Structure 1
Amino acid sequence: MKEYLANRKEKGFSVIQIVALDPEADLEMRSPCGEKALIDDNPLTPNIRYFEYLDQVIQMAEELELYVLLLPVWGQLVVGDNWFGKKFDKIITVDNAYAYALWLGERYRAQSNLIWALGGDRHPVHDGVDYRNLWRKMAEGLAKGVLGKDLKWNQPDKAWSDLLITYHTSCFGNPPLYSTTDYWTDEDAWISFNMLQSGHNPSIRSYEQVEKDYKKAPVKPVLDGEPNYEEMPSAFPFTYPIQTHGEWNVRRRAYWSLFAGSCGHTYGHHSIWRFARKKDERTLYTWQEAMDRPGAWQMKVLRDLMDSRPFHRVQPCQEMLTHPENCADGCLEDHRQACMDSEGSFAWIYFTSGGTEKIDLTHMKGSTIHAWWFNPRDGQCYDSDGSLLTRPFASISEKTIVTFTTPTAGKENDWVLVLDDAEVGYAAPGSNTSNLQSEKKEEAEDEVFFPTVE
């Protein structure tokens, strides 16, 4: 586990998703040392030796300055079935949810690096059964355990803000409803931020749901907690030969999401979410091999881009584009997503497959705009002809609508157009130097989530 956490720290991740009780890969829910999680499959009699291992993992993460998004249970333990149609005992019930959450919250009351998520890949109303009361009792149990306060799920209280908590939905349905906001209302005072599971269907336009949640009132942060995972099968039930998500699928979901207004994003890999030790027809790599797959490294490229500008000021800005006028239903691989900081000093436009776009520069401040082509595949900047550059490829003095064409175009040829107010003096996008050449870098890490991993 130390190897894994150190690897993720090196790549710029800040949050690790962990499930305390997850039967998907092992119905006995055993630790690496073989300790069962529960005595007699009862959440009210937890095996302390199992949870001592979880203690160690959370502590290791804290020592590396990593947060842990902790799910007390996976949804299968609540609804009693898996995605292959098998049935199981419902171990977590409305009668024991509060007590289990209370125990878990008390155990980790002193931890300063925990964020919480309920749900575990299941809608709160599953196969016609309403489990919302169970999840609400679990939220109240966590509040009592972590905060020592008797909070009610539907009663606003400032103390709820001291317990960062969300809900992890599923992505199934027709049409798929995969946001926290699709199932919970403003009455649920326990929800601090909204989570999506845009899932593993490659045709989902996740930026639409991010935009929808971003504009909701009251305002809450939103992030995609389970998008396309690298080398995850892209069809379920599985079809053969297996088709999987490549690094491009991973990148585009991340850039769409962050530029559309999300506070962070999840990276996942098919071999890592279940820590695969063996390969098979659906598992191309062991978890150790998968840690350094291209998509994982490209999250470091994304993090470097975020760190090179004051990301905490970024807001969606599709009005800079002329493309949305031509973006009908089904526009996916040609989508462009734009954002700009609140002070108008820089803007980013993501071209999913490259191409040409007219950009309205009147939204930006400054008399001169510097333009850069940033490559999300390698983190380098290029000229319009594809030559490496360490300076802007253009300086533009006219604040008007300007046409830009990416250095390359076509499937998997994504690019980010970076536009800067020249007077501010930003360094090259993704540069390891200060995000300002003339001023001290602003610290934003306490204000936002950066790309996450499960």
Structure 2
Amino acid sequence: MAYGGNWEGGRVVVRSETVDSEPARTQTAGPAEPVVAPAGGGGRRISRRDALRLGLFGLGGVIIGGLGGFALGRSTAPSATAPHPVSGAPERAGLASASFPITIGADARSLVDSEGRHFLYLADTPWNAISRMTRESFTTLATARSEGGFTALQMSVLDFDPRAQNAYGERPFAERGDLAEPLRGEADYWTHVEWCVDECARLGLVACLVPSWYGGWGDAWRGYVTEDNAAAYGTFLADLLGDRPNVWWLLGGDNDPTDEGEATSGVPGGLSRGPVVAATIQMGRALYEGQSVPQLMSYHTAREMTVEEHFGDEAWYQLSAAYSGADSAPFVRAEFDRSTVRPVILWESYYDGRDREPLLDRREVRGQAYHAFLSGAAGAAYGHEDVWPVTEEWPAALAAGSAEDVSVLSTLLAAFVPGVLEPLGPESGLLPDGHGTPGTASAVAVAALPDGAGAMAYFGEPRSTIRIDTTALDADATFAIRWFDPATGEEFFVADDRAGEDVVVSWPSTWSDAVLLVRR
């Protein structure tokens, strides 16, 4: 059972949903009120509501103890204003309104649209949508994602099954797997591919396309990609789609291009199980050289590996590729820290709706994205187990709570992050009590906001209190402090004009995870 809410008339209206796996949170019927420790010692003030509940009403305004969900303390005087939803807080951002094409920013880490505005890459992964959906279904999916704050769809041009036709019974090639001989006609497989790409453009979405998905075990198209046909297929795709400004290319597909063992165990008999590095490079060069508008490119790796040594010197390898397990931070950070600076994209992590280990609840699914962006990613992908293969349950999966969390994340980043976040380690000193244990729910992701505007921290599990040293950001500046709920998108006031080495904020008592905003 998941709980979300919105504020009406100064109270929180709670709604329950059974379509997601949000860890239970028991929100109270009103805003969590503050317990504040004044500067210079003294007791702590408890809210009127808590005083009534404890039978202490009428004993005075300042007493020891308190059970409120928010507090700010010791280095500065308390705010007179109780925490409450921030007046004028941004609504869900319509991020899918970029002007194409998308290019790399002057800092080499960020993405910008054709008007120079920061572009946030937030993708869903309906990998088989082009081949398995009718046009009506495709429009339903793409519209839902555009309206939900996503800015891209990651899709395979070809079905994962080389034997498959599309939803209209059309085949991509004259002979199965013959990438050098696309089957053309008046209305054919490739006309449908063009239509899907153009529908994405109409809805403001990047169509990030995998030319020929290799497959985790080589069980898709890897065995069919050779040095004899890779360049020809790349040239064909460039002729077909090289003028579409909303197209990106993502070569490979869940595969180590050098491995001749597990990564090729599914290659059909009679096909090559050798490395495909050279063939991939040829395909990438053909796509890159055939563009008439800028189209960004990368490679979709096997989980927890990098392909920098194979493709890092190629002009087409413009986006550093990360593909993580449930803990996205170390893999994004490793790419971020490379001497060759590129935007880093988390192309995939783990999906919602899994029926096998690791089983992630809704909080853990969204945590992957928060850890990615706060580790320096310029973009990240979300996925659901019923959407990527287009099962019969895909329409219901579109409304999963985990997808709603992407909308919340897009709101947060659009409102406060006009660029790529700079990850901060424990050595920064911003959180004197540390960043928790890497790889566990206690791990805290911390990053500096662009242009010295402050910092942001994501906590994947509750802490009783959080100490902040604002001098780690600026020795002289004062900061506003807010909580942001990644489950509802509500922003809560904590305090203004705070500074010092020992600012203490207490945890929002009903939340399972939270984002702390410290801004000038």
User: Under a length normalisation based on structure 1, what TM-score does the superposition of the two structures give?
Assistant: 0.75
- Map of 1:301-312 to 2, 5 A cutoff? 301-312=408-419
SS in 2 for 1:219: coil
Q: How far is the alpha carbon of 1:400 from its aligned partner? A: 1.9
Q: CA 1:377/1:146 → structure 2, altered by over 3 Å: closer, same or farther?
A: same
8 Å contact from structure 1 (residues 210, 257) kept in 2: yes
Report the Cα offset of residue 38 of structure 1.
Answer: 1.6
In the alignment, is the contact (CA less than 8 A) between 2:456 and 2:516 conserved in 1? Answer: yes
Aligned-pair Cα RMSD in Å: 2.4
Q: Is the 8 A contact 1:323 1:336 kept in 2?
A: no
Residue 75 in structure 1 maps to residue 208 in structure 2:
no
Q: Secondary structure at the match of 1:123?
A: coil
Uncovered stretches (5+) of structure 2, i.e. residues with no partner: 1-137, 262-273
CA distance in structure 2 between the aligned counterparts of 1:185 and 1:109, rounded to whole angstroms: 21
| Contact kept in structure 1, 2:179 and 2:224, CA below 8 Å | yes
User: Partner letter of residue 143 of structure 1?
Assistant: Y
Which deviates more, 397-406 or 32-41?
397-406
SS in 2 for 1:59: helix
> Residue 166 of structure 1 is aligned with which of 268, 291, 298?
298
CA contact (8 A) 2:435 2:444 kept: no
Partner deviation per Cα, 1:44-67 (whole Å, 9 max, x = no partner): 222330111111110000011111
Please report how far the alpha carbon of residue 420 of structure 1 lies from its aligned counterpart in structure 2 after TM superposition.
1.6
| Distance change >3 Å, CA 31–CA 351, structure 1 → 2 | same
User: What SS class does the counterpart of residue 146 from structure 1 fall into?
Assistant: coil
* 1:187 counterpart = 2:313: yes
* Segments of 4+ moved more than 6 angstroms: none
Contact 1:234 1:245 survives alignment (8 Å): no
1:332 alignment partner in structure 2:
440
Task: Map 1:119-198; keep pairs closer than 5 Å.
Answer: 119-127=252-260, 129-147=274-292, 162-171=294-303, 177-181=304-308, 183-184=309-310, 186-198=312-324
- Aligned partner of 2:181 in structure 1 is 45
In structure 1, C-alpha distance between the alignment counterparts of 2:245 and 2:300, rounded to whole Å: 22
Q: SS state of the match for residue 225, structure 1?
A: strand
- For 1:374, give the aligned amino acid: F
Say if 2:489 is the partner of 1:374: no
* TM-score of the aligned structures, taking structure 2 as reference length: 0.66
Corresponding residue of 1:450: none
Cα distance per residue 1:425-444 (max 9 Å; x no partner): xxxxxxxxxxxxxxxxxxxx
2:386 is equivalent to residue 271 of structure 1: yes
Q: CA deviation at 1:29?
A: 2.7
Residue segments in structure 1 that go unaligned for 5+ positions in a row: 83-87, 148-158, 172-176, 236-242, 278-285, 383-391, 422-454
1:256 match: 371
User: Is this contact kept in 2: 1:29–1:37, CA < 8 A?
Assistant: no
CA distance in 1, matches of 2:236, 2:204: 25
User: Which secondary structure does the structure 2 equivalent of 1:166 belong to?
Assistant: strand
Hey, what's the Cα distance between the residues in 1 that align with 2:394 and 2:519? 40
Of structures 1 and 2, the larger Rg is shown by 2
**Contact 1:119–1:169 under 8 Å retained in 2:** yes
With over 3 angstroms needed to count, the CA separation of the structure-2 counterparts of 1:8 and 1:345, relative to structure 1, is same
CA contact (8 A) 1:367 1:399 kept: no
C-alpha separation in 2, matches of 1:289 and 1:326: 37
Secondary structure of 2:155's counterpart equals: strand
Q: Does 1:210 align with 2:345?
A: no
What is the identity percentage for the equivalent residue pairs of Structure 1 and Structure 2? 25
Q: Deviations over 1:112-150 (max 9, x none)?
A: 101111111111112253211010011122123325xxx
Size of the aligned set, in residue pairs, is: 363
CA contact 1:168–1:197 (8 Å) conserved in 2: yes
- The equivalent of 1:238 in structure 2 is none
Question: For residue 436 of structure 1, what is the aligned residue in structure 2?
Answer: none
Q: Distance in 1 between matches of 2:398 and 2:179?
A: 32
Matched position secondary structure for 1:125: coil
Whether the 8 Å contact between 1:102 and 1:142 is mirrored in structure 2 is yes
**Distance across 2 between alignment mates of 1:344 and 1:89:** 46
* Cα distance between partner residues in 2 of 1:321 and 1:232: 36
Give the secondary-structure state (helix, strand or coil) at the position aligned to 1:95: coil
Check the 8 A contact 1:28/1:37 in 2, yes or no. no
Aligned-partner residue type, residue 490 of structure 2 = Q
CA shift, 1:324, in A, is: 8.0
CA deviation map 1:40-91 (0-9, x unaligned): 11112223301111111100000111111111000049x7436xxxxx9922
What is the match of residue 398 of structure 1?
A: 499
